[in-house]
Amino acid sequence: MEEGILGAMLCMILVFAVFPLLWWRRRRMSCSSHEHEEEPQQQRVERVVQHSGTRRMRRRPTAVNSFVPSTSGQEPLSESDEEEVPEDDNHVAKASTRKEKKRQEREAQRQAEDAARESRKIKQDRYEELRRRKDEDREAKERAMEEEALARRAKEEETAALEFDKWKGEFSVDAEGTTASENQEETQGLLNNFVEYIQNRRAVPNLAEEVRLKGVSGRQDCINRILELENIVTSILLLLLVITLLILYFTVLKPKKPAVVATPVGLDHIAFSLRPNVSLTLSIRMNISIKNPNYAGFKYKNSSAFIYYGGDFVGETPIEAGIIHARSIKNISTVVNIIANKVIGNPKFFPDVFKGSLNMNSEMGMEGKVILLGIFKLHAKTHSTCDIAIFVWQGNSTANCNSKIEL
């Protein structure tokens, strides 16, 4: 096989090498033929010119000297004829050369066609050999399969025959009161019953049916296994999602108490006198700073801050609606006007005045919505309380506040 392939490759290489050589040789021969054609043409033109000149030179004396005999006028003609003879010889030689070249070209072309035809024939033979070998291999495999099938069928028949022989010994035929035809019919009926029994019990099992049933059960088991795995993966993903949400809630999204700091900026107006009557005029300027430590904004409505002294309501200040952005601080400036009559009428007023400080309480509630991640909105309520100490004689004050948030 390898030698045939190598031979085919060598033939192909020789064919491809012959074509360029033939083309080069043909081109060389055409060039040389053109050169040879040009040289004779030049020589012919020169000869024609020379002959015409000589003829003219020789005709003049014949015209002048008309008395010269005719023999003298025929001599140039014979000479010109002798000079034209070589021209005909050159033409014949060139034609023979051209024919020889054409013959050589045809011979080379014929050899190239023979080589190409031989190469194609070799390829065709090799292809036929390969196809013949494939056909022989296929036929051998088919014969082997047929022999295997015949052997299997013979084995099945032998098994059935052995089974029949095993059951045949258990049959008994009584000759009392019967004829030969009845015995034959009974034997045939028993044989039919045995064949039906063998078919029902499948003494020779149907392997194809068993393989099909096993394949169906295997596919169903595979499908059930895949469904179980999908359920397990879904459960794991849901558990991870719940754990992630819980971690986010307890670390990031869990509400934190806002820090409310009420800083008394100063007493806007205070006037206290004991004569002729006890009088008090008091206005407090305060700056309420609210810090939101949560990752959600808080949008609150209009609300109010209430001032108490000794449990009695003594003042109120409004707080306009607004929004506290996530993890930011908002400052609210306000002025609280104290109701002097209620302060003076309180039993604690004079003892506190003698001590030098008035202790008051403030309460502030805000209702609104918590904006989570700019999408979710929850109702929320904040409540803040402050303890305010006003130093009457010094003219200043201090405060301490606490707050909480409810969702």
* CATH code of the domain covering residue 276: 2.60.40
Q: Would 341 be classed as within a structural domain?
A: yes
Whether pLDDT at 163 is above 70? yes
Give the domain-ending residue among 57, 88, 123: 123
Q: Tokens 């004569």 belong to which residue?
A: 275
Rounded distance, CA 396 to CA 258, Å? Answer: 26
Q: Would 190 be classed as within a structural domain?
A: no
Which carries the bigger pLDDT value, residue 253 or residue 364? Answer: 364
Q: Would 350 be classed as within a structural domain?
A: yes
Mean pLDDT confidence for 70-90: 47
Rounded distance, CA 298 to CA 328, Å? Answer: 10
Residue 46: pLDDT band with limits 50, 70, 90 = very low
User: Looking at the DSSP assignment, which residues form a beta bridge with residue 385?
Assistant: 363, 402
CB 401 within 8 A of CB 261: yes
Residue 60, pLDDT score: 44
300, containing H or E segment: strand 296-300
Distance, C-alpha 68 to centroid of its chain: 113
Q: Would 342 be classed as within a structural domain?
A: yes
Task: Copy the structure tokens of residue 128.
Answer: 């036929």
Q: Would 193 be classed as within a structural domain?
A: no
Residue 187: pLDDT band with limits 50, 70, 90 = low
Q: Would 61 be classed as within a structural domain?
A: yes
The pLDDT tens digits of the residues spanning 107-142 come to 999 999 999 999 999 999 999 999 999 999 999 999
Average pLDDT, the chain: 72
Domain holding 265, by residue range, is 259-406
Mean pLDDT confidence for 35-62: 46
Residue 201, pLDDT score: 57
Using a cut of 0.95, tell me whether the model's pTM lies above it: no
Q: Would 238 be classed as within a structural domain?
A: no
Number of structural domains (the chain) is: 2
Q: Would 144 be classed as within a structural domain?
A: no
Mean pLDDT confidence for 203-228: 65
